[in-house]
């Protein structure tokens, strides 16, 4: 798998990362095999549809920071750590699609549409079980981090589902939801890579902070491209139609401009009409909240990059720095 977002890092290092991701991809398919054809097909449905594999790549890059210190990386443990985070991520997508009543996932029919909600939920549970089985082979310290990460994922989903309590800041609530639902697993990806590399707790804390911040950047940029991009594999404004709060809509509401009356009349409707959805997307694309959201995302990307400066210099750190630019410039 050709890694995206690595910029102009050393070609030899990029080839190493690509080879590692290819191996992880094959192990993902193997890990999602089951005793019956139906479960195997359903469990491999989202995996086979592709994906950025951002979390496995982060495990690989953080582990290879050890190259700068002349340390060898255990390939099997590295790939198992990457499997754990991606299986966990994919499992959560099955549950998300049921809760969101999604039609598409990565350009393909969502599992809840192809089969049914109960099958999609149980397949997600199956993949969580496969992740748990794999993490147990790495040791109890990995198991504890995985369990705590899973707890944050669930709490983030619940918080998103019930919304902010009365008088709470909706933007702060949204950022906490993202930190729990997205930042937590991306932070764990970075930490797992550092653990495979044998780094001390101080370095792991740096990686954890970096992962949490870049996870927020990743999801907040998704908030923006839900409105601005036509190449995501989803209809622009999908989050709007599903009633999911995003940074641009929350910032636009906070501006409280009289001229936005039509925009929020649309946003607060069911947006079942394609014409209404297209109009809402157009109005948001023209709204100053989009640029304000981009400014916030760039600020956080710079903060993530700054955290890397204490890590060992070399191709792996350069690749992590390049990711800080890639996550805010992608359009899918």
**Is the per-residue pLDDT at 125 higher than 70?**
yes
Instruction: Identify the CATH homologous superfamily for domain 11-325.
Output: Farnesyl Diphosphate Synthase (1.10.600.10)
Note the pLDDT tens digit of each residue in 71-91. 889 999 999 999 999 999 999
DSSP 246-290: -HHHHHHHHH--GGGHHHHHHHTS---SHHHHHHHHHHHHTSHHH
Contacts of 105 (CB under 8 A, 6+ apart): 46, 49, 93, 97, 111
- List own/partner pairs for 320-324 with CB under 8 A and 24 or more apart: 320/61, 320/62, 320/210, 321/7, 322/5, 322/6, 322/7, 322/8, 322/9, 323/5, 323/6, 323/58, 323/61, 323/214, 324/214, 324/217
* pLDDT for 5: 67
Q: How confident is the model at residue 9, as a pLDDT?
A: 80
63, 196 Cβ separation under 8 angstroms: yes
Is residue 231 pLDDT above 80, yes or no?
no
CA distance 304 to 325: 10
Report the share of the chain in percent with pLDDT over 70.
95
Has residue 2 got a pLDDT over 80?
no
Average pLDDT over residues 96-120: 74
- Per residue in 197-229, pLDDT (tens digit) is 999 999 999 999 999 999 999 999 999 999 998
The residue among 2, 5, 97, 85 whose CA lies nearest residue 45 is: 97
Name the CA radius of gyration of the chain, rounded. Answer: 20
Q: Quick one: pLDDT at residue 209?
A: 97
Predicted local confidence at residue 1, as pLDDT: 61
Helix (H) or strand (E) holding 108: strand 108-109
pLDDT tens per residue, range 238-296: 888 888 899 999 999 999 999 999 999 999 999 989 999 999 999 999 999 999 999 99
**How many residues are there in the chain?**
332
pLDDT of residue 62 exceeding 90, the answer is yes
pLDDT at res. 50:
80
Q: For residue 185, which phi and psi values (nearest 5 degrees)?
A: -75, -35
Give pLDDT tens digits for 11-61: 899 999 999 999 999 999 999 999 999 999 988 888 888 888 999 999 999
> What pLDDT is attached to residue 120?
83
Question: Nearest 10 degrees: CA dihedral of 9, 305, 326, 199?
Answer: 60
Q: What is the pLDDT of residues 140-185, one digit of tens each?
A: 999 999 999 999 999 999 999 999 999 999 999 999 999 999 999 9
Handedness of CA 71, 75, 79, 80 (dihedral sign): negative
> Does residue 7 surpass a pLDDT of 70?
no
> Which residues are 108's β-sheet partners?
105
Burial of residue 118 (CB within 10 Å: 0-12, 13-18, 19+) is exposed
pLDDT for the residue numbered 68: 82
- Above 80 in pLDDT, residue 103? no
Q: In whole angstroms, what is the distance from residue 276 CA to residue 283 CA?
A: 11
Pair 283, 204: CB distance under 8 Å: no
Amino acid 182: pLDDT: 95
Res. 94: pLDDT tops 90: no
This model's pTM is above 0.85: yes
Does the pLDDT of residue 190 top 90, yes or no? yes
Nearest Cα residue to 275 out of 241, 307, 326, 228: 241
Q: What is the distance between the alpha carbons of residues 207 and 219, in angstroms, rounded to a whole number?
A: 18
- pLDDT at residue number 107: 64
């Amino acid at each position: 798998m050709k890694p995206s977002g690595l910029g102009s890092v050393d070609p030899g290092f990029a080839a190493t990362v690509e080879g590692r991701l290819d191996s992880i991809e094959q192990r993902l398919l193997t890990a999602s095999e089951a005793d019956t054809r139906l479960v195997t097909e359903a469990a491999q449905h989202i995996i086979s549809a592709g994906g950025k594999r951002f979390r496995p790549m982060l495990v690989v890059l953080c582990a290879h920071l050890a190259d700068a210190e002349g340390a060898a990386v255990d390939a099997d443990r590295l790939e198992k750590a990457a499997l754990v985070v991606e299986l966990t991520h994919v499992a959560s997508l099955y549950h998300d699609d049921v809760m969101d009543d999604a039609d598409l996932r990565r350009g393909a029919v969502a599992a809840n549409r192809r089969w049914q909600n109960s099958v999609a939920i149980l397949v997600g549970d199956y993949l969580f079980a496969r992740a748990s089985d794999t993490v147990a082979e790495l040791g109890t310290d990995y198991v504890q981090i995985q369990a705590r990460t899973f707890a944050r994922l669930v709490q983030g989903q619940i918080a998103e589902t019930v919304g902010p309590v009365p008088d709470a800041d909706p933007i702060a609530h949204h950022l906490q939801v993202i930190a729990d639902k997205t930042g937590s697993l991306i932070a764990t990806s970075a930490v797992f890579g550092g653990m495979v590399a044998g780094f001390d707790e101080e370095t792991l804390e740096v990686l954890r902070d970096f992962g949490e911040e870049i996870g927020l950047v990743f999801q907040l940029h998704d908030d923006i491209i839900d409105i601005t991009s036509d190449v995501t594999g989803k209809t622009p404004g999908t989050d709007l139609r599903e009633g999911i709060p995003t940074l641009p809509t929350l910032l636009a509401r906070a501006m409280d401009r009289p001229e936005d009356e039509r925009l929020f009349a649309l946003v607060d409707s069911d947006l079942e009409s394609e014409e209404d959805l297209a109009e809402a997307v157009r109005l948001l694309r023209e709204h100053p909240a989009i640029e304000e959201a981009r400014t916030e995302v760039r600020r956080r990307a710079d903060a993530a990059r700054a955290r890397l400066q204490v890590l060992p210099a070399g191709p792996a750190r350069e690749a992590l720095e390049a990711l800080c630019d890639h996550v805010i410039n992608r359009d899918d």
